[in-house]
Chains A and B, each alone.
Chain A
């Protein structure tokens, strides 16, 4: 058997060293609210961009796979800061 895995299940297979002090990606929810396309909901492989109950954009940098797709696709620049995590932090691929 092989199972479909949800994004959190997939991310649980990975090793992360989360930087608790500094977020490497920061969004401005007010700008995101005005964005029509909201591409980030679909293109983030880790599905870390989500709309909450009130339709407000939320983002959790902890499970970021550091692919950069959101940076490339963010049209209205709701992503106000995009960088890589500080040295040693972030995802630690063991296969890659």
Chain B
């Protein structure tokens, strides 16, 4: 095939939310788009904890969420602190997040299902979706990226968009990023456990389509990280994220630590009698704003989604899918606006990322990184909280000690000082 025949306006590598959102927007604008996915189907290689914030889908097209392959709308935001066999659960319910006349704020989600749906939308809009094809390398001509090679095939485009995820081999090949630094990522593992819809609703005190999103602290044996639990329609996604460098020092397998979590007395009843239907793992960028790669484009090449480092982790919520979709839209708009001079696509992209509030969002949450660096946040703090609760609720006929005494005693027993906690508080207030 000649180069002219195989030339597209844009080639997108990776049919995750970023790639498909980009393909959808470009195709709607009449662009000739090729979306390449190495999985058998879009989503076959992708993993999430579980949730999507709906505003991003609304940005892609208002009302689109109503037909999207989503699980339950999140009505209950929960935080769980584990300390030994004990657990404290905070459950926040705000009906306003899901008021009747607007799109619910977020939904739980399974990526193999969702990504396939979104790629199909891009295809419907006119993009060519090619699955089961792994892009091997980029084609560079006179300092510009002009296409990709997959096996024997060469395909050309004005712009190649790297939407190939956290471990972006495309961006590395383009020379825009180096190998990922271990300190900047977490390794996440997840089990999807099937249960009847009604059982899930009962166990989490939910109505039919309501869902819970739960962050867990104190389940990583002190390793920087945490757990998550999301209720899907007919399954529960339970998982855990760990800083791999600390796992290596701790010398216990992430799989084992995760199985311990499953058996925790406060977790086991929630998943009891469930059938495990999948075990997955994925890397997640943990560095937030400072993890965004300094250069997100070069001539003929843009990076979107996880490949660009767009993940926000505040400790109580984790965002990636929404940022991926927004960055995909931003890239598409940048390319459309650069129709006259494609060299402007990169600079346009940076402007769009600001205009669509993606960069400001990342920047605003930068301070969380330092707070989350606090080493004793992952075992001593949740244990301390449980110690205080235990003393508070314990009645055994003995003369009770005062609350102040209890708290001070618990702080000391956990090897902490008021000074350390005050410093963390100040750091927290300053950076958040």
Contact = CB atoms under 8 A, between A and B. Distances in A.
Asked if A and B bind, the verdict is yes
Contacts of B131: 88
Contact of B40 (A4, A13, A39, A88): A88
B93 interface: no
Contacts, number: 159
B278 A90 contact: no
Interface stretch (B255-263, B381-389, B422-430): B255-263
Contact of A1 (B242, B273, B276, B283): B273
A60 interface: no
Nearest to B254: A45
Nearest to B279: A10
B280 A68 contact: no
B110 A96 contact: yes
23 contacts: A2-B262, A5-B191, A5-B279, A10-B191, A39-B248, A42-B248, A43-B187, A45-B254, A45-B279, A46-B255, A46-B281, A67-B188, A72-B244, A85-B134, A87-B134, A88-B131, A88-B132, A91-B280, A93-B43, A93-B278, A94-B112, A95-B237, A96-B110
A17 B40 contact: yes
A71 B280 contact: no
Interface string A33-66: 0000101011111110000000000000000011
**Main DSSP-derived SS at the A contact region:** loop
Interface of B: 38-41, 43-48, 110-113, 115, 131-134, 150-151, 166-167, 169, 179-182, 185, 187-189, 191-193, 235, 237, 242, 244-245, 247-248, 250-255, 259, 262-263, 268, 271-274, 276-283
B255 A7 contact: yes
Contact of A73 (B169, B244, B271): B244
Nearest to B253: A42
A88 B191 CA distance: 23
Contacts of B182: 72-73
